Amino acid sequence: MIEQMPNEQVKSKLIETLRNVTAGKIYVEVERARLTSRLVKKLEAEGKIDEAAAMLLELQVETYGSMEMKEKVEFLLEQMRLCVLRKDFIRESIICKKISVRFFDDKSEAVQELKLKYYDLMIKLGLNDNAYLDVCRYYRQVYDTPRIQADTEKTKQVCFVLAVYAFKSGRGVGTLVLKCVVLYVLLSQHTNEQWDLLNRIHAMRQLELIPEYNVLLELFINEEIIFWKQLMKPKMTISWFEDTMLSTFEDLLRRGTVTCPATDVFDATESGNKRWADLQTRVGEHNMRMIAKYYTQITFDRMAELLDYPVEDMEKFLCSMIVSGAIPDAKIHRPLRIVNLRARKANVEELDQWASSVRKLTDILNKVSHLILKEEMVHRHLDAKAGSPSQ
């Protein structure tokens, strides 16, 4: 009936009239939602994003019992998309919780397309919040999608975040998604969860497709110092392996190479530069953990040398890591310009150690006392034997 209207103006008036008539009618709530969706698309095409978003967000489609789950998810994804256009990420974070990720276990083509749209929007939300570990998980879910691993042209059109970069790459969307998985797990702050995910990603056989990124992962897994300047701009005196592999990391990650195109993670934008600075911070945090692992006490100058920071910046960085709980046992002695990294013991552990030491001391005293008494008895016996009359 709506399609039979002579022009768009009449269609819009009819849709608005039907929406007003069906307002509050539960038995036609699905039809009203569909009419609203048509009107929202028209408003968006006219550039009225705020008005379109307000109209669509008033629909609580998650409560519609007569609407199919697939259609509900489509409406919720549209609500999330309009929130992204309005930069209303708080509301988007609320709406995304209304979608159960178990719905995406369905391997049908239509559901997998909705899955890619969902994680595309979640990636944008995570990047806005600088939640790198969440972004890594989202990319991991994208990578596990059969359509992504198939690297079809249709997939490139669906995965909006990687669309531009996919067409530049000769190795497909899957490789680019895998690169993003690696980079965002490295950008995440070190926690038990991050460390577990880092090792599970390192165990993926698909990393053989991107050996340069696999080498970068190994640098953070190995319990060794990473020298940032040598990592990105090494001197000519380092070994051949470092000269051929590590010297290319800055170009590899920011600009890409002929055989390994870059992602948009460290592009020449404000957010890309911020993530590049965050990567340098993660290298510093890794180095600080390695120093705390192998040193019990270290001078300011030596720590600044190992971290490749000026002494003033090193002290600020150390204080931030102590406050964040990354190395809670460190103590700074400014007059002596040393840092004590000896691990503190819990009160119960201290008491147990004290009790054990006292027990050892009493055991030693008992043993010494026994030896003294034994020696005295031997000497008494010898003296008595020497003083007795000979037979």
340-357 pLDDT per residue, tens: 887 777 778 778 888 889
Residue with tokens 């940032």: 228
Residue with tokens 């399609």: 3
- Confidence band for 169, pLDDT divided at 50, 70 and 90: very low
270-299 average pLDDT score: 90
163-186 average pLDDT score: 72
pLDDT for the residue numbered 151: 63
220-240 average pLDDT score: 65
Residue 56 clears pLDDT 70, i.e. is over it? yes
Which residue, among 102, 98, 146, 105, has the nearest Cα to 121 in the 3D structure? 98
3-class SS of residue 267: coil
206-234 average pLDDT score: 82
pLDDT digits (tens, 9 = 90+) for 83-135: 999 999 999 999 999 999 999 998 888 999 999 999 999 999 999 999 999 99
Lowest-confidence region among 34-43, 193-202, 346-355: 346-355
3-class SS of residue 331: strand
Which token pair is 39?
Answer: 């009107």
- DSSP symbols for 52-115: HHHHHHT--GGG-TTS-HHHHHHHHHHHHHHHHHTT-HHHHHHHHTTS-GGGGG--SHHHHHHH
Contact 162, 173 (CB under 8 A): yes
Q: What is the pTM of this model?
A: 0.78
Residue count (the chain): 391
pLDDT for the residue numbered 181: 94
CA–CA dist 335, 88 (Å, integer)? 50
For the chain, give the mean pLDDT. 83
CA–CA dist 80, 259 (Å, integer)? 36
Residue 185 clears pLDDT 60, i.e. is over it? yes
pLDDT for the residue numbered 120: 94
Backbone dihedral angles phi then psi of residue 60, each to the nearest 5 degrees:
-100, 70
pLDDT for the residue numbered 153: 46
CA–CA dist 34, 167 (Å, integer)? 35
pLDDT digits (tens, 9 = 90+) for 238-271: 343 344 334 557 878 887 777 777 788 888 889 9
75-84 average pLDDT score: 94
- Confidence band for 368, pLDDT divided at 50, 70 and 90: very high
CA–CA dist 166, 155 (Å, integer)? 10
Q: Helices marked H in the chain — which ranges?
A: 8-22, 29-45, 49-57, 69-85, 89-96, 109-128, 132-143, 146-150, 153-158, 163-168, 173-187, 192-202, 211-221, 228-232, 240-245, 249-254, 270-294, 300-307, 311-324, 347-387
pLDDT for the residue numbered 189: 92
Percent of all residues in the chain with a pLDDT value above 90, rounded to a whole number: 37
CA–CA dist 341, 359 (Å, integer)? 29
